[in-house]
Structure 1
């Protein structure tokens, strides 16, 4: 795995960094899943626990969302803001 979850050809428009057992990650996942389905974009989830560098960089901010390779939000995902970013 790369230490930058947003790099690579063919990457989905939304990347969610999270970890197991994180209730905020569960909430963020539901929002990302719903909005991505509504606007017809792909997304993926990456666990910070699988990459020491991601864990070091983002552990205190999870969940973290990236849209089109740029950090979009952390801790909570605002549904309206995400939808607007994907337009």
Structure 2
């Protein structure tokens, strides 16, 4: 299962989202990558006030304050 975290440097909510993803990797089998929205004008336009955004298998699952239980539930549905 593929997970993408859209965020930026020096973002405390993004750091919290990364910590949640690291924790969830202990419980679920998935690979995740982080994409800096400032690396792409389209992403910056789309997500600039929404970050962090977690996308699972192409579906935006949650944005802003990331909740571990919401992400965990979606990861369980996908396996």
SS where residue 9 of structure 2 aligns? Answer: coil
Q: Which runs of 5+ in 2 are unaligned?
A: none
SS where residue 20 of structure 1 aligns? Answer: coil
TM-score by length of 1: 0.82
Alignment of 1:16-55 (within 5 A): 16-55=5-44
SS where residue 38 of structure 1 aligns? Answer: coil
> After TM superposition, what 4+ stretches of structure 1 lie above 3 angstroms from structure 2?
none
Supply the RMSD in Å over aligned alpha carbons. 1.1
Alignment length (residue pairs): 76
TM-score by length of 2: 0.89
Of 62, 78, 84, which residue of structure 1 is paired with 2:67? Answer: 78
